[in-house]
Structures are given as C-alpha cells and as structure tokens.
Amino acid sequence: MIKRNSILLLILLLNLVFYVNVNTATTQNYILRKDDFDRSGIPKNILVGSYIGGRSHVKPILDVVAILIERGYNVTLLTAGRYEPSSEYPGLNQITLGLSEVNGNNMKNFKNNVEFDYKGLPQILEPSTNDYKKTYEKYKKTAKEYNIDLFICDVLANEACIDAANNLKKPVVGWTSFLQFMDPVPYKDDPVYGCNTSLENESFFERFRCALIQPLQVASKLGPFAHQLNDIRKQMNIEPSGKIPKVSLSLVDTFFGFELPQPLAPNVQEVGPVLPEEYPPITPELSNFINAHERVLYIAFGTRFFTCTENNNKILQSLVEAINKKIVDGVVWPLGQTSRDNFYPTLNLTDGTQVQTLSILNNKHPHIHITNFAPQFAVLNHTNTKLFFSHGGAGSAHESLYTGTPMLVLPLGGDQMGNAQKLKTAGVALTLSVYNLNVNDILNKMSKLLEDEKIKKNLKRMEVLTKINSKRKYRAADLIEYILHSSGLEEYINDDYLKEWAPAASRMGFIKANNLDVYGALLGIVLTLIGGIVFKLFKSISNPSSIRIKSKKA
C-alpha cells in the first residue's frame, strides 16, 4: 500500500513539474522574427513601359507595382494611348508615349475569319519599328527627368524600352504572359508560330518541321523588321539587345498547371496569375438579370480582335438556340457599339424560324442581356454564372480558373491559340475554330462543359492551384526590390552583376554549357581507336604473306 501511494505521489509530482514548465513557456515573452529589411538606401524610382498599352497588357504589371507603391517606391507609367488607372492605383504617375493606342489604330484590320498567327505580326511590328526612334527618345527623356532607377518593360513590340534601359545602364525587368518568348525550350512551341504548345507526343516529322522548317518561315516573314530595326539602332549608336531581350529578370504572368512545365533559371520566374485584390461590383441592372437566371452564360472576346460578320451571327444564333434548348437560361454579352454593327439583320434558326438581330441587340430578348461593359471577374464569380464563352486571353483564362468556371474558347489571335490548347489539356475547356464555326458544334460543347463530371473535377483542382499561385505577385515585387537593392552603376557594368541567379550557361555559350566539346573530344578518341584497329585489320588482310612469314619464323 505504501509502495502504491509512493508511485501515485511520484506521478502527481511529475504532472506538477510538467504543468509548471508548460505554463512558464506559454507566459514567456517571445521576440518576433523581423522579416523586413531597411529600404532607406534603395533607389526609389521605377518606370513601367508598354508600347501596346491597353488594360490586358498594363493592368497585371500595375497590380504588382501597387505593392511597390505601398512600400514607398515612386512609379511612373509610360504607355501608348491613355490608360486611366488613377482610381485603381493611387500614387501612380502616368505619361503618354504620344502615340495612338495600338488597340485602336494598328489592330483594326484583325477583323476576319482566320486566326491571327505570325503572318499577322507585321501589323504590330511595322508601327513599332517606325515609332522606335520616337519611342526610345521618350523613354530616355522620361528616365532622366524622373531619375529612374529601374525599368519594367512589357516586352511585346517594346524593344525601345529595353534598349533605353540598357543604354542608361539601368536594370530592366521584362514582363510577359508568354513564357516561350522569354525562355524557349525545344519540346514546346506555340500555335502563333504554326506548331502546337507541346511537342511531347508529336511525330518525328512534325518535330522536324517545328524545329527546322517553321523557324525559317517565321524568320522570312519577320526578318525584314528585325533588320530594319537594327539599321535604326546603328544610326542611333545603340547596341542590339539580341534575339532574346537583355533583361535582368523575366517575370511571366503564368503558372504551373496552366503552363506546360519546364525547368526555369532563377532569373526567369512564373509569378501568375496576377489578379487584383479588389474588383468592381456588378451594376444593379446586371445583378437583377443574373439573379433571375440560374444557368448564365457569360460571353466576351476582348477588345483587340474581331471575327467576321458571318461568325458573329453564328455565335448569336447559338446563344438563342442554347436558351431554346434549355442548355442555359440566360446570357450576358458586353458589346461595344462598333461590334453591334457587325451582324447580319436576321438569324435563321435550325427550326426554320427567323429572329431579328436588332431586337436582341437592343435587349428585347428576355434572357439575353447586351451591355456596353460588364465587370468580368464579378460576373464570373457570381454563383449563377455557369459557363464562359471567351477568346482565351491570359487574363480571362486566369479569372475563369480562379472562379472555377468552364470555358468554351474561340481563339482569335496572339497567345489565345496557345492558351486554348493549354486550357483544353488541363481538362477545363473545349475549343472552337474561326475557320469552320458551326452552331451545332457550339451547342454540343456547351452541353458537355456543363454536364461532364470529369471537367467539374478538373475545375476544382485548377481552382485550388490558381488561388494558391495568385499570391506570387508579392514574390514578383520582392524580386524587383532585390534588383533595386543590388543595383548600381558600377555593379551593373560589372559582368558579375546578379551572377548569383543568372545560369552559367548564359556565360559559357551553347557548346561549353552542354559539354559538346568534351563529348566531341571523347568521340574523337573513340573514332581514332576504332580507326587504328580497322587499319591494322585491313593491313593484315591485304598482306597475308606477312602473316605466313611470321608463322614460319615462329
């Protein structure tokens, strides 16, 4: 009994000691780890430049820049046209390039029934080349006037921005949503260049075409503009930036799961999907319409590319028939006044009836709401929005994935064909072609997107992945700060600047980086040995008497 009481007393004492230790630990004042750094000595002035301009090109950059403004940096936006971000981005200074926005003047001819590929790129490259000198001088003048310490350049048709930064010995961050442009790999391509996004399962002949023949065709189409641009550079004593833009850091508005995976160097970073923290709400009129319908289709094709009148009528017919067949019960379609003029007057439905397009466009159809503008993210995020009929722009794809909305994609140009393939590969979208748009095909694909259980599961998976990756814009801001923290005139001139994240291959050259000289030497040694052995055998066979003489002597 005494022994048992002693054991119980010992257990009680141990529990008391444990309680005291735990209680002491919880009441101890811990010191928080400081994860920020001193910004007082860091250069403060950043210039954001975009030749193309427009919301789709500028806004993702500004969503990252907004973080830098909050951290005390001064940011100036220099872009074509007049993008009005003041209400969204307080503290941002804006200067116009003095050029008409490319969206309005140079893209107006993209109204057709064929996809826009590399053959249409001259419509962008020609004006940017012609404007190069004026644009370059504007960047340089602005940089000096505002004492710019770092450039962020939208890389599309914007060589002047990158060249101005390099000429002024300032670090430059390249921005794009097109990873293949910044870090090309041989097993990936893009439909804009005439090949599929992935060459993994392509035949030898297709890979041969994409690796050797197609680049020659692209070069023959775009080469004259590169030569013209280099001639202008020579006249201005500017060193060409090379085939791949010479930047300190490449930020790509994409993410794994959507983008086909590939190894990336530290100076090439996927930071997408870049989305704003807040978005404009749905207007009361639009809200009433969506709330009154349980299965809403949202349709939007951006503002840069337009399809032909025949295709527009097929699309409008498919919307009416989708409602009649109860595939969806409501449609929201933002259409500008110019786009509303691009329809035939009558729709001929498959049941033989006719509908006047003007009545639909004037909102006389009870289940189709036509509006000049719709806050896209808010519409996609609404519970009743079940399907997105889109052109497949990067921003639209990201918003659709974030909200878990399946997509029917009609790519019209640029990166949209590649995005369409990626979305289809991810199992969250089906695609159409402007070459042979068919109403029944549209309706069948709408039904599948809304009913297929596998698509629903893929959407859940991609929604999680998109939301996780949407936080990486803060990493983008951190990396830009690191460049500012590390940069300076002497360091930037030095070849060792940012050496810690630039791959050795960029300094070694293709042959050394891939050990081709080593393998070549090994091949030479092996061939020499084989050649020596073959020579000996051949000599012995061709002179058998020497063998007999030797055998007699033996």
CA distance 472 to 470: 6
Q: Are residues 318 and 431 in the same domain?
A: yes
- On whether residue 9 sits in a domain, the answer given is no
So what's the pLDDT on residue 304?
Answer: 66
Query: Can you give the length of the chain in residues?
Result: 554
Residue partners of 71: CB distance under 8 A and separation at least 6: 39, 477, 481
Q: Are residues 362 and 255 in the same domain?
A: no
Closest CA to 272 of 289, 251, 290: 251
Q: Are residues 444 and 315 in the same domain?
A: yes
| Long-range Cβ contact pairs of 123-132 (< 8 A, separation 24 or more) | 124/52, 124/156, 124/157, 125/157, 125/222, 125/225, 126/225, 127/102, 128/51, 128/157, 128/158, 128/159, 128/160, 129/225, 129/228, 129/229, 129/232, 131/51, 131/99, 131/160, 132/159, 132/160, 132/229, 132/232
- On whether residue 107 sits in a domain, the answer given is yes
Residue-wise pLDDT tens digits, 66-93: 999 999 999 999 987 655 555 678 888 8
So what's the pLDDT on residue 101?
Answer: 45
* The two three-digit tokens of residue 173, written as one number: 């961050």
- On whether residue 235 sits in a domain, the answer given is no
What order of strands is seen across the sheet that includes strand 74-79?
93-96, 74-79, 45-50, 150-154, 172-176, 249-252, 268-270
Rg (CA), the chain: 31
Examine the fold and report which residue of 467, 487, 506 is the final residue of a domain before the chain moves on: 506
Q: Are residues 323 and 261 in the same domain?
A: no
- On whether residue 27 sits in a domain, the answer given is no
Residue-wise pLDDT tens digits, 462-490: 999 999 999 999 999 999 999 988 875 45
Residue-wise pLDDT tens digits, 437-467: 999 999 999 999 999 999 999 999 999 999 9
Q: Are residues 301 and 420 in the same domain?
A: yes
Q: Are residues 399 and 427 in the same domain?
A: yes
Parallel, antiparallel, or unpaired for β 150-154 and 172-176?
parallel
- On whether residue 61 sits in a domain, the answer given is yes
The H-assigned helical ranges of 328-383 are 337-340, 357-361, 376-380
- On whether residue 390 sits in a domain, the answer given is yes
- On whether residue 522 sits in a domain, the answer given is yes
- On whether residue 7 sits in a domain, the answer given is no
Q: Are residues 487 and 389 in the same domain?
A: no
* The two three-digit tokens of residue 44, written as one number: 């403060």
So what's the pLDDT on residue 110?
Answer: 46
CB contact at 8 A, 385 and 290: yes
Q: Are residues 103 and 251 in the same domain?
A: yes
- Enclosing domain of residue 536: 516-553
The total domain count for the chain is 3
Q: Are residues 317 and 427 in the same domain?
A: yes
Q: Are residues 249 and 109 in the same domain?
A: yes
So what's the pLDDT on residue 320?
Answer: 96
Angle, CA 334 vertex, CA 439 and CA 403 arms, to 5°: 85
* The two three-digit tokens of residue 377, written as one number: 């993210």
Q: Are residues 297 and 363 in the same domain?
A: yes
So what's the pLDDT on residue 109?
Answer: 43
Q: Are residues 270 and 288 in the same domain?
A: no
So what's the pLDDT on residue 105?
Answer: 42
So what's the pLDDT on residue 317?
Answer: 95
Helices (H) and strands (E) in the chain, counts: 24, 17
| Long-range Cβ contact pairs of 344-350 (< 8 A, separation 24 or more) | 344/309, 344/310, 344/313, 347/313, 347/316, 347/317, 347/320, 348/317, 349/317, 349/320, 349/321, 349/324, 350/321, 350/439, 350/440
So what's the pLDDT on residue 195?
Answer: 93
Sites in the chain below the pLDDT cut of 70: 1-27, 81-87, 99-116, 240-245, 304-305, 337-338, 488-497, 544-554
**CATH number of 374's domain:** 3.40.50.2000
